[in-house]
Chain A
């Protein structure tokens, strides 16, 4: 840890710090030994199962041997189905490229260097272009690409696009709801508050049920709405309420003097929001915003309940093959590690951002 390079005798200081952390009292030493033994045993079991006795080839007969370990052959056999769902096999480069584009855009947006007025404009244009490219590649229908209807989209691309669409579309709605909740107009305030509290009080599944069963009833007779867009809009409506609360948190950090100063300069309501309030309030909530992104990413796994084949759903599809269904542990570990890596990266990023922001604001 911090001892590296600070001492002329790093070996001794390493031992000293180990003693301070692990062997500072008899009880601590006992706990260390017991926990280390337990960890070593568990680690060996996992290693033995996942690597030493594992079967890596998609060889069903080898996987069925009695003393085999993990059967990664299931993942090797079915990974295309798990990652791309029911998208036509020959065309799967399209979702791969499309997903790479939007994920690259996400990474670019995460660099704080771009968070200037000009950068924000460029990012907004970039997002519009990236999303357009995504939907064009996925759907096709021009430039020699065959049309693939959204009912065949699935796997990781579906998870990614539902997450990004839900966040991107719910952000402006959330800002409006947050402003509405703090408005002077009693009717607007109570409507915004009622919406936010209603949505935050019910589980996401009920909102997805509304999207699946009620949206078709609400549309004028004869109109139809794709299951993909139903679910996407449901997610947006759900996420908007949480986004509103996040933005409201940012609005509350703004000192009152900022509003008074803006008003005394003669700014109107929208001018004030655009030039004074939002630039400060939104920057303050970027870490919370990343956490919203994270929870939406995990929440999208619920769309399998309403028969969408996102990452979780397409794994269940792959496990539907009776030959391979015994290897569900390997399958779930595979997608859980994808979720884990992405979530862990996002939450570490959000923590890093928070520290950085606190330094910037001199807190």
Chain B
């Protein structure tokens, strides 16, 4: 602050105010430090009384428990660190699958609610109200119990043409026998298809070319993957006594969590889609229709791109909510980060360290989503108006 501002009395009052503010902050700092010191002392004393070790050294100890669902190799003899990595991978897997399905369902239901058709709009509203007004935990438990009680035993699964088997053991689908090769081929084809679609779509679409390219990329990858399987041979799931072997398997825990998270979040996303579309000024509709666009073209070319701008920031927070809600995995026994953490707290009592790890992981995941969605948002708001 420059000294030339105000008269002498004003400057005096200003100095007094600054002094007061510094004093208050000093006092606040002291209180916080005293609190932290007191807590640290209590924690140390309590840990000693309970003979619990402290520090992160335990991460190198063998975990000693098995995990039902693995994305990479792990056995009970491996370290806690590796167990946490498995848990984090499982959290990421179910969250990403959930984000995709919830977005698709949410957009469909949101558009249903905007429909002129009375019955379709009503169905959309019913979907939103049911999934938004019951706790996610109850939805998860219900889906999980339905899956594990009402589906047939694995010795007599529901079979869809020997391509997919659904039973108490989960969902097993046929996949190309050479899994890694097939994946490589699919990724390369998908990227090529996306690039081609992007180049083509840019020419005749002002916005949304990226979305179309992403769709084309996914479709291309899927076709290539299927074609590879058709040429090279499939690994089909087969009933083998009481077990099902072969193919790729999704456990009932994963399916229930994935479905529950997607249904619950789709209701909120549908509301965002609707709110975004309704927030576009009515003049935009009138202008688009006056230009002779059909209702469908007006939505695709005029309303949707503007609604997207409004919907992306709240969409980002819905994605974060989904990631956080995936922690409910612990109630149905899907081995995500929180349930692995819970198991290890019960084993070695090092709750403080485990909770710090879990929180740090969620905070960084949030940061990643925030940065990614921020980039998407910047891209969308930069699009030509």
A and B bind: yes
Q: Chain B 22-33, CB within 8 Å of chain A: the 1/0 string?
A: 001100110010
**Chain B residue at minimal CB-CB distance from A187:** B25
A218 to B116, CA, bound (A): 58
Pair B25/A186 contact, Cβ less than 8 Å: yes
Is A357 located at the chain interface by the 8 A CB criterion? Answer: no
Is A116 located at the chain interface by the 8 A CB criterion? Answer: no
Contacts of B330 in A (CB 8 A): 205, 305
Q: Which of A186-241 contact B (CB under 8 A)?
A: 186-188, 191, 198, 201-206, 209-210, 213-214, 216-221
Q: Which of A76-84, A250-258, A296-304 contacts B (4 or more CB under 8 A)?
A: A296-304
Q: Chain A 287-311, CB within 8 Å of chain B: the 1/0 string?
A: 0000000000011011011000000
Partner of A218, one of B43, B328, B342: B43
Total A-B residue pairs with C-beta atoms closer than 8 Å?
142
Pair B129/A344 contact, Cβ less than 8 Å: yes
Pair B137/A301 contact, Cβ less than 8 Å: yes
Contacts of A191 in B (CB 8 A): 28, 32
Pair B345/A217 contact, Cβ less than 8 Å: no
Is B142 located at the chain interface by the 8 A CB criterion? Answer: yes
Max count, chain A CB within 10 A of own CB: residue among B129, B137, B351, B358: B137
Max count, chain B CB within 10 A of own CB: residue among A185, A186, A217: A217
Report how many residues on chain B are interfacial, defined by Cβ distance under 8 Å.
Answer: 52
Pair A332/B138 contact, Cβ less than 8 Å: yes
**Chain A residue at minimal CB-CB distance from B39:** A218
A191 to B362, CA, bound (A): 20
**Chain A residue at minimal CB-CB distance from B48:** A221
Contacts of B145 in A (CB 8 A): 328-329, 332
Partner of A221, one of B29, B45, B341, B352: B45
Pair A21/B118 contact, Cβ less than 8 Å: yes
Pair A202/B351 contact, Cβ less than 8 Å: no
- A187-B28, A202-B324, A202-B359 as given contacts; A213 in contact with B351, CB under 8 Å: yes
Contact sample, A vs B, 14 pairs, CB 8 Å cutoff = A28-B117, A36-B119, A185-B21, A201-B366, A202-B324, A203-B362, A205-B330, A216-B46, A221-B49, A298-B135, A328-B145, A329-B145, A340-B134, A343-B133
Using a CB–CB distance below 8 Å, which chain B residues touch chain A? 21, 24-25, 28-29, 32, 39, 42-43, 45-47, 49, 116-120, 123, 129-130, 132-138, 141-142, 145-146, 149, 320, 324-325, 327-328, 330-331, 338, 341-342, 345, 351-352, 355, 358-359, 362-363, 366
Using a CB–CB distance below 8 Å, which chain A residues touch chain B? 21-22, 24, 28, 31-32, 35-36, 39, 184-188, 191, 198, 201-206, 209-210, 213-214, 216-221, 298-299, 301-302, 304-305, 312, 316, 326, 328-329, 332, 335-336, 339-340, 343-344, 347
Given contacts A28-B117, A201-B359, A206-B327, 15 further A-B contacts (CB under 8 A): A22-B117, A187-B25, A198-B359, A201-B362, A202-B358, A203-B324, A206-B358, A206-B359, A216-B46, A217-B43, A217-B351, A221-B42, A298-B134, A329-B145, A332-B145
